[in-house]
Structure 1
Amino acid sequence: MSNSPSLLAMFKFVFGKVLTRRWLLILNVLALTVITLLQFVVPQIEQYIIDKIIPQQNYTGLLWAIGGLLLTALVLGVFNYLSTYYMSVMSQNAITALRNQLYQYLLKLDTTFFESSKTGDLMTRLTSDINNLQSLISANMLNMVGNLFTFVGVLALIIYINWQMALAVSLTFPLMFLVYRVFRFRIRSAFLHARQSQARMSNQMQQTLTQIDLIKSFNSEQTEAGRFEKLADTNRNDMITAGRNQAIFSPLIDSLNYLGIAIVLLLGAYFIMKGHLTVGALVAYLSYVGMVQSPIQSFTRLLNQLQQASVSYGRIQSVLDVTPTIVNVAEPKPFPTLKTGIQLDNVTFTYPTTRGKDDPTVTLNDVSFQIPYGQTTALVGQSGSGKTTITRLIDRFYDLDSGQITFDGVPVTQIDLSDLRQHIAIVSQDIFILDGSIRDNVLYGRPEATDDDIWQVLELADLAAFVRQLPDQLNTQVGERGVKLSGGQKQRLSIARALLKDAPVIILDEATASLDNQSEKAIQHALNNLLQSRTSLVIAHRLSTIHDADQIIVMADGHVVERGNHETLLAKNGTYTALYNAQFE
């Protein structure tokens, strides 16, 4: 993506949303046409009053002319209102559509994209950057289009009236264009730096506000405040730089406009003294010159908005240019009815962020094993051995470098992505709780379920008794990230959510690692309910929790080094035995 997207591409992108409701655009164009035509009438009335009515002392004609002028002003006001109002409607519709498009596209991007992106920066693109594009669909912007037609028409008229004065005024236009060319790049560069520093501020705010407990526990409020202050100062300086360029640019354009008016007054006065022009004609001519200069003045006033919009468009387009790679094949298959289970054959995988480097870390290397249907398979091993990576590959957050993962013989890449994930439920040590009610959290994977369904899974998750004693029961608000719940309660809530999803494949990724022994024992009953009659893969930190697993796969450095049940692995006196003994020394 180019760092300097063209204005034409930006307008095509934005107005593509406007054209979905053409009738609003047609109404605005009609209103602007009427406004433009009426603007031609006012100078003619002024000229008629000065050249005809005043010399003739025609009081009746004066009243009629003033009445016509007021009526014209009234009609202009009505059509300006219509144009402004319907432009606002059109603008809001288009911007909402753009924001929805960007948000939906973001949700479809691969996990790799989010691993390399800053949350605060993405939020800025969805909010401030989208808002900046709204200036392109404002009444001022559409008036700019109308003013261009006015510019051409009035320029032809003043050439017809007096070509000498028109030629003299036109000499200022190349100077304006030159000033615009010089400052366009300066202002855009300044606003680009300002948007980048604003995104860094958003990242800092997002990071600190979501880690407030860490900040307070380490007494680092002053440190974080100092970091934010530096970022805020950088953003202030960037905005001042942009403002300084704008402050130089606008007076230069105004000075060139006054130069044009001075030229008209000079030549007009000369032609009046020579008897070639009337005073009324000069007044009307000055009005027309103002109408010629108006589009240029409007454009210079909008330059600030255009450059901000251009920067924001580039930032938005850089997201839309990212192509997801984890997508469905041309004719995806439904998730199969499991009878044999899940098979990993010679799976090799390196994380995308390290691929192609001189010394990439191969996370999994030639891994093969089966997760039999209806049984519990446990994965154990030291941190970094590749356990969690296997679960993410089964759920197809990434695609393999080589090898294959199949569900009853159907490759994971051939299965419809939505259907695949609908049939897999994951409970991890990183518990994701919505800022809503208990009902909202349990229903997340199956929103059509009833309250009876919710209570049933809460019973199985050993959480029903706790919820019933709450004043608002299912409507109880849990707070952001579930701050009103204990660790064990949040874990039970995530188990209830997985139970309600009723997926045939269950993945437990160290689901009790963050709990104390007492809490873990209390939750183990809920986990047993969850795993009953399902094909399950369990990553266990505490080996005491997997004694009853049908098979245990032992991982080390991205390889499978041992497999068997608890008793047979202990008898081997190998890696599993070493891990087991280390926990009970």
Structure 2
Amino acid sequence: MLKFFGRQLAVAKGKLLLVVITLVGVSGIQYVLPRITQFIIDHAIPQKNVGQLLQLIVAALVLTIVMGLFNTISTYFIGQVSQQAISHLRDELFAHTLDQDMAYFETSKTGDLMVVLTSDINMLQNLISTSSLGLLGSMLTFVVVLVIMLANDWVLTVLILITFPLLFWANYLYTTRIRAAYRRVRTSAGKMNNQIQESLTSIDLIKSFATETLTGDRFQQMNADNRDNQIQATKLSAIFSPVIDDINYLGTVIILGVGAYQVIQGTFTVGMIVAYLSYLAILQAPIRQLTGLIQRLQQASVSYERIENLMASKPQIVDPENPVPLAPFHDRVQFDQVSFAYGEEAPVLKDINFDIPHGKVTALVGSSGAGKTTITKLLDRFYDVTAGAITFDGTDIRDVRLHDLRSQIGVVSQDVVLLDGTIRDNISYGMTASEAEIWQAAEGASIADFIRGLPDGLETQIGERGIRLSGGQKQRIAIARVFLKDAPLLILDEATAALDNESERHIQRSFDDLMQSRTSLVIAHRLSTIQNADEILVVEHGEIVERGTHAELLAKNGRYAELYNLQFES
């Protein structure tokens, strides 16, 4: 973890050097101020030397102001350096997360990722702080003051030092417990965030099934677990801090007892007692900082483990080292003996062979879970085939850049994804488009009149996930987005399955316009929508069991005819 911080801070060496210089200056002043106090008590006051007293007081005030200036400089630059380092880390981590493939997101929990990208990074920032880096200056002062104290009175200094092993023993005793406690806190917080995120994104389901109480009880249990874990961690910290304070005060008692006895014996002065009490505070400062740092280290180490695990994840779907240029699609997409399985599971697709000719409409039908959507995900290269190959105008899609491939594919699915922004933002997502081009796309999707009827037009806020829009309106915005992208290859994945019959008829006309002069792969929920497809493939249990036109498949009186008749009988 320290090496990691070293890399993050390496870009700010000049500022860190200035911080160290100011901290050394603070340490020097911290040594001089108790000496001034000692001189005032032992010399200026007994000699009733007012002039000398004023000079010493002015010197102390000046040094205090300078020390305050040094502290201001160090605090500002440490804050600047830490913010820049953490900002850079968050950018790097977020970009790394976006680079992961679909398999990673399907096995990861959104709440956990949110905790890593926010809370865990903030926890690391606590280590790059004035108190943490100030420990360097305090340790320097510690060494200087310790040498001087040993030279002045080694017996008293050794007695004070006896308390320090007790401090380190207390640190050792609680380190393991605090670390385990905060690991439990972070884990329970991740589960709680997952529950919040899942509940808020599934509010329609919760409301329709009237499970508010059940969902609230589940959250209450997770919240209670997180509370109990936090209380346990707080309990350990509550025990830890007073123990340190008691051991620290033991050093004060030793100075007061032994020092006062030596004053009575005439071998020590009152000014030296006051100075030693100040020096004790200087010696104890690194220990206090160290105890606080240890607690932050325990919390940060848990956060760092989670960050490290995220950074260690490597996407399997990546660009090839020497990508082949991909020309605009003009011939055909070919699935050549394609097989696929998710991880170690049973194969989802087995020896799939078919072509999607340029300018033609190819439809996939079959039972739920037959593998139809998996075929589209393989074409978009969200996953790589287990066996066989998918070629794009004769080029294996694994040999081209992901951006080049996906820029030529437009997707409209049943689950429309809209951003919490304006209609303009959602239509032009990922693209730079003029006003005229956006309106042209909206006209193509038959939603332009609806947008013009809104008070704010294209600037209308649609709410999170388009909550202010109907299902048909959401789908038309998604269609407008694909119109604007103008990709030559179109995938329609049961895009009208969630709509009522009237909405489907209107949107089907938009699809007909969209599919003109494009190559289309359509997954059909309602078979009546793909009667005019150039070829229909019937997929069952990961295999193509029938193929042909609508009329040919009905004439065969096989699985397609069975599905068609069942749909119209219902």
**TM-score normalized by structure 1?**
0.94
SS in 2 for 1:432: coil
Q: Does 1:253 align with 2:259?
A: no
In the TM superposition, what whole-angstrom CA distance separates every residue of 1:109-139 from its partner, at most 9, and x where no partner exists? 1111111111112112111111111111111
Q: Does 1:450 align with 2:431?
A: no
Preserved CA contact (<8 Å) 2:414 2:498: yes
SS in 1 for 2:304: helix
SS in 1 for 2:126: helix
* Aligned equivalent of 1:563, options 547, 552, 555: 547
Work out the CA distance in 2 between the residues paired with 1:338 and 1:427: 19
Work out the CA distance in 2 between the residues paired with 1:281 and 1:28: 32
Preserved CA contact (<8 Å) 1:431 1:490: yes
SS in 2 for 1:337: coil
Please name the residue that 1:25 is paired with.
16
* Aligned equivalent of 1:335, options 319, 322, 326: 326
Please name the residue that 1:43 is paired with.
34
Give 1:24 shift: 2.6
Q: Does 1:413 align with 2:398?
A: yes
SS in 2 for 1:327: coil
Please name the residue that 1:6 is paired with.
none
Work out the CA distance in 2 between the residues paired with 1:335 and 1:151: 66
Please name the residue that 2:421 is paired with.
436
Please name the residue that 1:182 is paired with.
173
Give 1:350 shift: 0.7
Preserved CA contact (<8 Å) 2:163 2:251: yes
Give 1:26 shift: 2.5
Work out the CA distance in 2 between the residues paired with 1:279 and 1:517: 96
Work out the CA distance in 1 between the residues paired with 2:319 and 2:139: 48
SS in 1 for 2:165: helix
Please name the residue that 2:372 is paired with.
387
Please name the residue that 1:195 is paired with.
186
The one-letter amino acid of 2:490's match is I
Preserved CA contact (<8 Å) 2:329 2:489: no
The one-letter amino acid of 1:366's match is D
Give 1:266 shift: 3.3
The one-letter amino acid of 2:552's match is T
The one-letter amino acid of 2:358's match is Y
Q: Does 1:79 align with 2:66?
A: no
* Segment of structure 1 superposing worse, 267-276 or 510-519: 267-276
Please name the residue that 2:148 is paired with.
157
Preserved CA contact (<8 Å) 2:328 2:408: no
Please name the residue that 2:472 is paired with.
488
Please name the residue that 2:538 is paired with.
554
Please name the residue that 1:460 is paired with.
444
* Segment of structure 1 superposing worse, 480-489 or 86-95: 86-95
Q: Does 1:572 align with 2:556?
A: yes
Preserved CA contact (<8 Å) 2:36 2:56: yes
Please name the residue that 1:396 is paired with.
381
The one-letter amino acid of 1:234's match is D
Please name the residue that 1:3 is paired with.
none
* Segment of structure 1 superposing worse, 555-564 or 137-146: 137-146
Work out the CA distance in 1 between the residues paired with 2:430 and 2:36: 70
**TM-score normalized by structure 2?**
0.97
In the TM superposition, what whole-angstrom CA distance separates every residue of 1:285-328 from its partner, at most 9, and x where no partner exists? 22222211110011213333222222111111111111111111
Work out the CA distance in 2 between the residues paired with 1:160 and 1:531: 91
Preserved CA contact (<8 Å) 1:14 1:136: no
Q: Does 1:509 align with 2:493?
A: yes
Work out the CA distance in 2 between the residues paired with 1:161 and 1:347: 85
Preserved CA contact (<8 Å) 2:492 2:522: yes
Please name the residue that 2:216 is paired with.
225
SS in 2 for 1:538: strand
Give 1:282 shift: 2.9
Give 1:165 shift: 2.2
The one-letter amino acid of 1:516's match is D
The one-letter amino acid of 1:261's match is T
Work out the CA distance in 1 between the residues paired with 2:470 and 2:352: 38
Work out the CA distance in 1 between the residues paired with 2:351 and 2:157: 80
The one-letter amino acid of 1:64's match is Q
Give 1:89 shift: 2.0
Q: Does 1:135 align with 2:120?
A: no
Work out the CA distance in 1 between the residues paired with 2:498 and 2:33: 78
* Aligned equivalent of 1:306, options 297, 303, 325: 297
SS in 2 for 1:563: strand
Preserved CA contact (<8 Å) 1:335 1:423: no
Please name the residue that 1:112 is paired with.
103
In the TM superposition, what whole-angstrom CA distance separates every residue of 1:79-128 from its partner, at most 9, and x where no partner exists? 21222222222222222222111111111111111111111121121111
Q: Does 1:544 align with 2:540?
A: no
* Segment of structure 1 superposing worse, 431-440 or 155-164: 155-164
Give 1:441 shift: 0.4
SS in 2 for 1:346: strand
Runs of 4+ more than 4 Å apart: none
The one-letter amino acid of 2:413's match is S
Please name the residue that 2:502 is paired with.
518
Work out the CA distance in 2 between the residues paired with 1:510 and 1:217: 24
Give 1:15 shift: 4.3
SS in 2 for 1:276: coil
Please name the residue that 2:271 is paired with.
280
What are the equivalent positions in structure 2 for 1:343-354 lying under 5 Å apart? 343-352=334-343
Q: Does 1:469 align with 2:453?
A: yes
Preserved CA contact (<8 Å) 1:445 1:500: no
SS in 2 for 1:445: coil
SS in 1 for 2:348: strand
* Aligned equivalent of 1:297, options 288, 294, 301: 288
Q: Does 1:362 align with 2:353?
A: no
Give 1:169 shift: 2.0
SS in 2 for 1:398: coil
Work out the CA distance in 2 between the residues paired with 1:245 and 1:73: 37
Please name the residue that 1:171 is paired with.
162
* Segment of structure 1 superposing worse, 99-108 or 210-219: 210-219
* Segment of structure 1 superposing worse, 161-170 or 262-271: 262-271
* Aligned equivalent of 2:463, options 479, 493, 502: 479
* Segment of structure 1 superposing worse, 304-313 or 33-42: 304-313
Percentage of pairs with the same residue:
50
* Segment of structure 1 superposing worse, 154-163 or 414-423: 154-163
Work out the CA distance in 2 between the residues paired with 1:553 and 1:151: 79
Q: Does 1:209 align with 2:194?
A: no
Work out the CA distance in 2 between the residues paired with 1:252 and 1:536: 72
Q: Does 1:533 align with 2:524?
A: no
- Size of the alignment, in residue pairs? 569
The one-letter amino acid of 2:181's match is A
In the TM superposition, what whole-angstrom CA distance separates every residue of 1:519-555 from its partner, at most 9, and x where no partner exists? 1111111111211112211100111111111111110
The one-letter amino acid of 2:437's match is D
Work out the CA distance in 2 between the residues paired with 1:368 and 1:160: 89
The one-letter amino acid of 1:421's match is R
Work out the CA distance in 1 between the residues paired with 2:156 and 2:285: 17
Work out the CA distance in 1 between the residues paired with 2:356 and 2:157: 85
SS in 2 for 1:137: coil
The one-letter amino acid of 1:479's match is G
Preserved CA contact (<8 Å) 1:460 1:496: yes
* Aligned equivalent of 1:56, options 47, 60, 75: 47
In the TM superposition, what whole-angstrom CA distance separates every residue of 1:179-205 from its partner, at most 9, and x where no partner exists? 111101111111111111111111111
